[in-house]
Structure 1
Amino acid sequence: MTTAGSRPNILLLMADQLSAFATGPYGNEDVLTPNLDALAERGTVFENAYCNAPLCVPSRAAMMTGRLPSGVPSNDNAEEFPASVPTFAHSLRRAGYRTILSGKMHFVGPDQLHGFEERLTTDIFPPDLTWTRPWEEQGDPPRLSGAQQNGGREYVDILRSSGPLPWTYQMHYDEEVRFTALRRIRELALDSGERAGEPWLMVASFTQPHDPYVAPPEYWNRYEGRRITLPEPVPDGVEPHPLDRWVNAFHGVDRAEIDDEAVRLARRGYYAMTSYIDDVVGSFVAELERFGLLDDTVVVFTSDHGDQLGEHGMYFKRTLREWSVRVPLLFAGPQVASGRRIGTPTSLVDLHPTFADLAGAALPEWVTGRFAGDSLTGLLAGDAGTEHPHRDVVVENSAEGTLLPVRAVVSGRHKLVYAHGLPDQLYDLEKDPRELDNRAADPGYAEVRDRLRSSVLTDWDPVAAERDVVTSQRVRAFLGEALAHGAHTSWAYEPPVDAARQWIRGTDDDPWDPLCGF
């Protein structure tokens, strides 16, 4: 292992449901993200970064473990994340790092730490089996029904609430996340105890710009009079794929009348929340600079998945369309080349091996052998003339809004979406970034289609996957019904607070010491 002094701190800042296409570094000229723009200029932008599932829980579990969702397994928002699966928090903690989490990670199950030594806040969503939505109960096409609905409303009804509000529950949560994380950075910077100088990994994870698309006036008003570009309609003659029909039925889009004003307001609220997240990024960079930590800290910014926002006639997530699965991925700091943009397709499963390399963490083969991604450190260093091959990117969807497991593989400029028994989708993303021209039946793309289909089926049996997912859904529905009876024991994390020892209340506290209480 390397010495602590040669290893950087790592700060991972996460948004929730933020599409790469809704940020300045990825070419959006409508949104205001000056701090992300500055981070991109100071560091490296991965132009074609993907999540590994278009939903919170499986995407985050994949990111933490470096495994695909089916390899954790964590396929939907109510499948338990096994405590025995190694995460990057375990790997860095074993290598001598302090590991700290503030905010949302949406762990499902009684283990709410997964290798983090400290957790500064509770989570925002339920950690139990509440959100199990078996395919068998959704119908065909799949729809929210019965207990899954909220007062009989459809998902698409969220669009009607877009607008300014004095305050929101998401702001309430995110401000707590920001406060506790910044406070902990200050404490680490000022620490003079036995662990002073130890490198640290901190994840600060926020819930915005997740729907509903509402924001306080100070952010909503930033977009007064600004252009809000609407999505281009799908041309006549482009038939929706069955997977598109399924997710639109699940969200209620197929039954809704959505006019341009509703889309404009939703985008304005989404951009307003994105500007809040941008301000958050700026506050962390400023605090690192204040305490002389900026040159010793690798700052990483990403999101768990995106949001369609009307692109391709679709909204929210749960689809393998580009706005739903493309995420921002920015690195800046030591060991990171500045002003660099990398077109190689990458994904969130690359973060575990990358963080391990940055930390000098020696991992056993039985950990690295399960990785579905590759370390990005060679690409980050900008080694001139050096080849850095990267395996194909795989994205999975086995959650609600579909009726069978779906996999996509991205290789270079091509993307294949595969669902057993349904027509393949093959897109040339360089020629057709809106995914309007399915080339799966085009003889000119036969070699590409066959190669990507072989890649998507490597180490994956779609029939067995469907059987395993359905079995898991049935078991969790049974357990959820059982646990709803009798006394409830919550899995929610409760952060410990020792208020009696804060500030100037300890026996050795000196009221004249300006650092007293740290």
Structure 2
Amino acid sequence: MKNLFGHPRTRLVALATLVLVLPLGARALLGWSNPLGYLSDLALGSLLVLLLLRRPWWLALPVLLAWAALWVASAELVSAVGRLPNSADLGYLFDPQFMENSTGGGLAHPWLPAVLGAGLLAWLISAWRSRAQPLAALPRVALAVPLMLFGLHWASQHLAPSDADQWRQYNLSHQLLSAGVGNLQRQAQGWLGQTQAVTPLPSVGLTQSDLSGQKLLAAPGQARNLLVITLEGIPGAYVQANREALDSRFDEALMPKLSRWAERGMNTPDYVLHTHQTIRGLYAMLCGDYDKLANGTPKGVELLTQNQRNQACLPAQLRQAGFTTHYLQGAGLRFMAKDRIMPHIGFDSVHGLEWFSNANYLEFPWGKDDRAFFEGALDYIGQLGKQDQPWMLTLLTVGTHQPYSAPEQYLQRYDTPKQAAVAYLDDAIGAFLDSLERQGVLKDTLVVVTSDESHGIDGVRLASSWGFNLTLAPEQAELPRVKRGTYGHIDLAASLLDYFALPIPDALGGRSLYRDYDSGREMIAYTNGMLRYHNGQGVF
């Protein structure tokens, strides 16, 4: 055995097995099979063999550890929220609250780090024992192999672009390299004074409000109060009315109670979530603006240095109109700076986990489980009902954030913890809306149910950008069950101000959900590392 591991060629076999064979097998086991993905794994693996084969073990080991960590991070984030990690996520690796709460002490694919670890150990033993024996250089023609494979991948992407999930088309290391090269190319074009052929953001249709549509309601909305319920990570496909309206092939009824409530309200099936991350989704829906359609510091954080644009956000506008404005979430407020952002955009009262006095029904690292959260929210609404002023309350659940905790009886009924957590949320939101109806809150309150982002659905095209908007209004009979047209979070702030017949600041973009439009409209989203633009005239 010692002679076997000490042979220089064994080092080549161990390294090739680690960076070529194991990734291909892992891709198949994870269900990410795609010719481009296998090509990406082969290209990167062959490059690592060339770069590291004759390097000292102490120099190659950190590179291989980083490579393996990226593989594990890919599998975990795709499983949790349906997207690949990006450079902006690196900061969260050093946030103890995020790491502790998100992992919950376990991994979705514990076998992957075990397999990669075994492969690393086998390579390390062979590299150590053969360290004194030189290994012949590979033939120069071997240098052409990764170049050819990367070239084939690049050519296939440019000649026949695919909108398949990024993790199916790329190894994460390759994807990060590709994104970095693209950023350098754009910076170089800027230095040379060149611009890209397509620059959709300056378009008036994307950045300005549009109230040209025909009003659905003959008079200002009858509701006195506003309740916005934001469900963590829920795609639009989970609502049956949306699946039917868009002829979706996704047929899992994970949220039947919310779907039954949707039968009584106005649904907007073609509803776009523009980005990933909660703070970006909240900013878009509350401030009527696209967050950055790229990675980087969220606009909500940058807004803290401004004292004008924040006054155009929905809470600030409603506060000026005489509403008391409130924000309540089931987790601590420090993460993503919501403790500073929410007061800055106009919320009078901002509360997180510290507000709740009721006990949890299960242990959940982020804070309140969804059943306990909505029971606490009922108490909060009861307190608001005792005041004379109209109120706005925005709720944010956290139970469908990884690590997807759910009671044991739910875990036994469903295939994955994510499905169990979604089902638990469905029961909780169903009971909450039932209680609001029994208490008479729905008679004088406009209720909007939506989500901050989409955790995606494996194999469902564009699911990472597919959201939903359910309106429950006192004058429901005057509203359609299915609202036709394309809308998104960019429209929510202007829509709600339009419902209450309040002035809409020039800084807000979007159309009103409470109007009908004869023409298409532009829409844009940046999810899964892909910028998607539709011009409203059939060009995607």
The TM-score, its normalising length taken from structure 1, stands at 0.52
Using the TM superposition, give the Cα deviation of residue 42 of structure 1 relative to its aligned residue in structure 2, in angstroms.
0.7
Please name the residue that 1:182 is paired with: 378
- Is 1:372 matched up with 2:537? no
Using the TM superposition, give the Cα deviation of residue 342 of structure 1 relative to its aligned residue in structure 2, in angstroms.
2.6
Q: Could you tell me which amino acid in structure 1 is paired with residue 269 of structure 2? A: E
- Is 1:395 matched up with 2:502? no
- Is 1:208 matched up with 2:439? no
Please name the residue that 2:500 is paired with: 359
The number of residue pairs the alignment matches comes to: 301
Please name the residue that 2:459 is paired with: 311
- Is 1:290 matched up with 2:432? no
The answer (yes or no) to whether the contact 2:289–2:509 under 8 Å persists in 1 is yes
Q: How does 1:227-242 map to 2 (within 5 A)?
A: none
The answer (yes or no) to whether the contact 2:300–2:341 under 8 Å persists in 1 is no
Please name the residue that 1:24 is paired with: 240
Once the two structures are superposed, residues 339-368 of structure 1 have per-residue CA deviations (whole angstroms, 9 ceiling, x without a partner) of 6213411101111001112223224xxx3x
* Residues in 2 aligned to 1:200 and 1:345: alpha-carbon distance in whole angstroms: 29
- Is 1:410 matched up with 2:534? yes
Q: Could you tell me which amino acid in structure 1 is paired with residue 317 of structure 2? A: S
Unaligned segments of structure 1, at least 5 residues: 125-164, 224-264, 313-320, 380-386, 415-447, 453-518
The TM-score, its normalising length taken from structure 2, stands at 0.50
The answer (yes or no) to whether the contact 2:225–2:446 under 8 Å persists in 1 is yes
- Is 1:332 matched up with 2:472? yes
SS of residue matched to 2:229: strand
Distance change (3 Å), C-alpha of 1:73 and 1:376: farther
Once the two structures are superposed, residues 169-203 of structure 1 have per-residue CA deviations (whole angstroms, 9 ceiling, x without a partner) of 246354554233211211233x1xxx42x322111
Question: Could you list the runs of 4 or more consecutive aligned residues of structure 1 that deviate by over 6 angstroms after TM superposition?
Answer: 71-74
Using the TM superposition, give the Cα deviation of residue 107 of structure 1 relative to its aligned residue in structure 2, in angstroms.
4.2
SS of residue matched to 2:525: strand
Please name the residue that 1:110 is paired with: 340
Using the TM superposition, give the Cα deviation of residue 377 of structure 1 relative to its aligned residue in structure 2, in angstroms.
1.2
The answer (yes or no) to whether the contact 1:354–1:375 under 8 Å persists in 2 is yes
* Residues in 1 aligned to 2:412 and 2:531: alpha-carbon distance in whole angstroms: 40
Q: How many percent of aligned residue pairs carry the same amino acid?
A: 23
* Residues in 2 aligned to 1:31 and 1:181: alpha-carbon distance in whole angstroms: 26
Once the two structures are superposed, residues 29-49 of structure 1 have per-residue CA deviations (whole angstroms, 9 ceiling, x without a partner) of 423423212221111111110
Please name the residue that 1:47 is paired with: 269
SS of residue matched to 2:467: coil
* Residues in 2 aligned to 1:110 and 1:350: alpha-carbon distance in whole angstroms: 24
Once the two structures are superposed, residues 99-153 of structure 1 have per-residue CA deviations (whole angstroms, 9 ceiling, x without a partner) of 11110684457344221111232599xxxxxxxxxxxxxxxxxxxxxxxxxxxxx
Distance change (3 Å), C-alpha of 1:375 and 1:71: farther
The answer (yes or no) to whether the contact 1:18–1:306 under 8 Å persists in 2 is yes
The answer (yes or no) to whether the contact 2:494–2:509 under 8 Å persists in 1 is no
* Residues in 2 aligned to 1:38 and 1:176: alpha-carbon distance in whole angstroms: 22
SS of residue matched to 1:350: helix
| Structure showing greater relative contact order (alpha-carbon pairs closer than 8 Å, 6 or more residues apart) | 1
SS of residue matched to 1:167: coil
- Is 1:349 matched up with 2:490? yes
Distance change (3 Å), C-alpha of 1:411 and 1:289: same
SS of residue matched to 1:353: helix
Q: Could you tell me which amino acid in structure 1 is paired with residue 351 of structure 2? A: L
* Residues in 1 aligned to 2:435 and 2:317: alpha-carbon distance in whole angstroms: 26
Q: How does 1:207-226 map to 2 (within 5 A)?
A: 207-223=398-414
Q: Which has the larger radius of gyration?
A: 2
Decide which structure has greater helix share. Answer: 2
Once the two structures are superposed, residues 412-459 of structure 1 have per-residue CA deviations (whole angstroms, 9 ceiling, x without a partner) of 585xxxxxxxxxxxxxxxxxxxxxxxxxxxxxxxxx3xxx6xxxxxxx
Q: Could you tell me which amino acid in structure 1 is paired with residue 522 of structure 2? A: D
Once the two structures are superposed, residues 192-228 of structure 1 have per-residue CA deviations (whole angstroms, 9 ceiling, x without a partner) of xxx42x32211111013222244221322343xxxxx
Distance change (3 Å), C-alpha of 1:171 and 1:123: closer
* Residues in 2 aligned to 1:15 and 1:339: alpha-carbon distance in whole angstroms: 23
* Residues in 2 aligned to 1:60 and 1:378: alpha-carbon distance in whole angstroms: 23
Unaligned segments of structure 2, at least 5 residues: 1-218, 244-249, 356-360
* Residues in 2 aligned to 1:98 and 1:112: alpha-carbon distance in whole angstroms: 14
Please name the residue that 2:368 is paired with: 172
SS of residue matched to 1:341: coil
Q: Could you tell me which amino acid in structure 2 is paired with residue 43 of structure 1? A: G
Q: How does 1:499-518 map to 2 (within 5 A)?
A: none
